[in-house]
């Protein structure tokens, strides 16, 4: 999920439902698009009005034939050729990645 349309392509505008944020407010899922990282495409990334962070689930990467691995203090996503596309770090119990780092892997 993302709240930033500028990072996506092939937008399909369609009200899909709502999501609840941590502050108990709701955001509307207003459609979906493809997210490109390097030569790989993550399909059907939802556009959520008001979302301030990008949220991906591991299955989205795996469905795009990417490898995902988690270590004690880091995580990474590699393409089918083993090229590292994304590297993240763990703080508390949450693994995070930088959008700027993701964009470096994009054309």
- Please give the share of the chain, as a percent, with pLDDT higher than 90: 42
For residue 18, what pLDDT is reported?
A: 95
The closest alpha carbon to 47, from 106, 3, 96, belongs to: 3
Q: Is 81 helix (H, G, I), strand (E, B) or coil?
A: coil
Neighbours of 40 (CB within 10 A): 20
* pLDDT at position 101: 59
**Residue 70: pLDDT above 90?**
yes
This prediction's pTM: 0.73
């Amino acid at each position: 999920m993302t709240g930033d349309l500028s990072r996506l392509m092939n937008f399909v505008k369609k009200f899909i439902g709502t999501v609840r944020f941590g502050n108990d407010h709701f955001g509307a899922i207003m459609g979906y698009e493809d997210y490109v990282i390097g030569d790989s495409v993550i399909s059907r990334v939802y556009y959520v009005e008001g979302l301030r962070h990008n949220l991906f689930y591991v299955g989205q990467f795996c469905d795009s034939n990417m490898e995902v691995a988690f270590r004690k203090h880091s995580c990474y996503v590699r393409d089918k050729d083993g090229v590292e596309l994304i590297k993240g770090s763990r703080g508390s119990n949450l693994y995070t990645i930088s959008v700027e780092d993701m964009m470096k892997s994009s054309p």
